[in-house]
Amino acid sequence: MNNVRPRLTMMSEAQIKESHQNVLKVLSGTGVRVDSPAILQLLEWKWGLKSQDRIIKFPPEVVEEAIQSAPETINIYDRRGERKLKLGEDRLRFGVGVTALFYQNPVDETLDVFKRENFRDLVRLGSSLKHYDVISTVGIVRDVKEELGDMYGSLEHIANTTKPLVLLVSDEDRFPDVLDMFEHLHGKEVGDKPFVIPYFNPVSPLVMNAGTVDKMKVAIERGLPIIFSNYSMAGASTPLTPAGTLTLLMAELLAGLVISQTIKRGAPILLGMLPVYFDMRTMLNFYDPQSILISVACSEMMKYYGIPHCSTSGSGTGWGMDLIAADTYWMNTLALLLSNGHLAPFIGDSLGSKSISPTTFVHCHEIIDQALRLHNGFQLDDVNSAVDEIFKVGPGKSFLNQPSTLKNYKSGYYVSGVYPRYSMEKWIDAGAPPARQVLRQKTQDLMASAPAPDEYDEFIAKGEEFIRSKFHDIL
């Protein structure tokens, strides 16, 4: 197989090593603040270190040992126990979701508060689209009691798909309860052929907050792989230079790695960053093209370490699925596919990540479909070069009936599943529809036909009973 593929390479090996040394200097010289007394005590006891005012510094040898102990690949299963992904070995995989507060409907794209039914519909839609390999938490349910939003949202999460889940729980006190509910519904421990990947964030700059590291301990002790990913506001919570942001965020990631391997040596973990910029004039955060470069650099650092990478997804920009959002999604998807990303789990949100839109799921699926054709390259060999065929046809004749055409005419070029390839005349005959109108209608059709898993009714009934029994004092 002589497949030729494009690749995006950013840093040389010498530059990667230089960046790594800068990160080690931050961890050994500045250190990080650990707000959990239990985790801080564990770090001190395990490594023979001393903290001061909750700040602990990690010598290079501690960091290097943590890098060596983390697994290079992670097996991820679906809810029915079939292995679906080997993160760290495969190409970039994609997922939908974000902890949105608002829902942008596919009919007229107006906003409403995020409701339980929106969680159900979005999970089913994402699950029905083949290029989405994981389904992340898609929103914070706001039409139930606030204390139970995570419980009802997570119930809809597990009940409406069999695909692997990336789990975000906004109320740290509810995290063990959500895992207990999952085990109650699943009938097995969640660490047995894990299909749940909890997602955790530290607080930049250089704070390992108690809620994050304590939840990490719960997840790791249950045998779950975890994602440890940070979020910058360059110029506010990190230096404004790309290299400065990379250095600080990498220091946080390796601190999280040390904590994970201190909790359990060999604990599976993905590391990644969301290197967002902060506009000091508008007080808004956003992705700059250099954000994508920093994410690519992070992916190269993770390849150097041998640790699976959780990349940027390109989400958050735009006012729904518009030209602004399309720019960032295309840039991010292609750049990380052509570099060393392994998982981009958060497609679908816009308006500063406050809102989520099903039309974004559908259009970004088109972006991924086309970007994969670029990533996959093409075959360069005697048969595909078709020298004999060219000789046979000769100048001025047609290849319509030749083997290369007859074999490949159904798959030899991209055909959109959303946007018809209209001529001008056919577009006029169709009423000259704007592309956005076509997208809205296709999204509505897909949502109407997206199926529920066979266990849906059973899971909802058992899950609601679990919540009533566990939280009867709140209800």
- Fold entry, domain 1-380+414-475: TIM Barrel (3.20.20)
Higher pLDDT pick, 284 / 454: 454
Structure confidence at residue 312 (pLDDT)? 97
Q: How confident is the model at residue 1 (pLDDT cuts 50, 70, 90)?
A: low
- The 3 state secondary structure assigned to the chain is CCEECCCCCCCCHHHHHHHHHHHHHHHHHCCEEECCHHHHHHHHHHHCCCCECCEECCCHHHHHHHHHHCCCCEEEECCCCCEEEEECCCCCEEEECCCECEEECCCCCCEEECCHHHHHHHHHHHHHCCCEEEEECCECCCCCCHHHHHHHHHHHHHHCCCCCEEECCCCHHHHHHHHHHHHHHHCCCCCCCCCEEEEECCECCCEECHHHHHHHHHHHHCCCCEEEEEEEEECCCECCCHHHHHHHHHHHHHHHHHHHHHHCCCCCEEEEEEEEEEECCCCEEECCHHHHHHHHHHHHHHHHHCCCEECCCCCCCCCCCCHHHHHHHHHHHHHHHCCCCCEEEEECEECCCCEECHHHHHHHHHHHHHHHHHHHCEECCHHHHCHHHHHHHCCCCCCCCCHHHHHHCCCCCCCCCCCCCCCHHHHHHCCCCCHHHHHHHHHHHHHHHCCCCCCHHHHHHHHHHHHHHHCCCCC
pLDDT per residue as tens digits for the range 416-451: 999 999 999 999 999 999 999 999 999 999 999 999
For the chain, give every domain's residue range: 1-380+414-475, 381-408
Q: How confident is the model at residue 342 (pLDDT cuts 50, 70, 90)?
A: very high
Indicate whether 2 pLDDT > 90: no
Structure confidence at residue 366 (pLDDT)? 98
Whose CA is closest to 202, among 194, 193, 212? 212
Instruction: Report the pLDDT averaged over residues 30-40.
Output: 99
Instruction: Report the pLDDT averaged over residues 352-377.
Output: 97
Indicate whether 44 pLDDT > 80: yes
Instruction: Report the pLDDT averaged over residues 298-325.
Output: 97
Instruction: Report the pLDDT averaged over residues 78-94.
Output: 97
Q: How confident is the model at residue 339 (pLDDT cuts 50, 70, 90)?
A: very high
pLDDT per residue as tens digits for the range 256-277: 999 999 999 999 999 999 999 9
pLDDT per residue as tens digits for the range 127-181: 999 999 999 999 999 999 999 999 999 999 999 999 999 999 999 999 999 999 9
Q: How confident is the model at residue 34 (pLDDT cuts 50, 70, 90)?
A: very high
Structure confidence at residue 475 (pLDDT)? 79
Structure confidence at residue 283 (pLDDT)? 86
Structure confidence at residue 280 (pLDDT)? 86
Identity at 151, one-letter amino acid code: M
pLDDT per residue as tens digits for the range 370-413: 999 999 999 999 999 999 999 999 999 999 999 999 999 988 99
Q: What is the pLDDT of the chain when averaged over all its residues?
A: 97
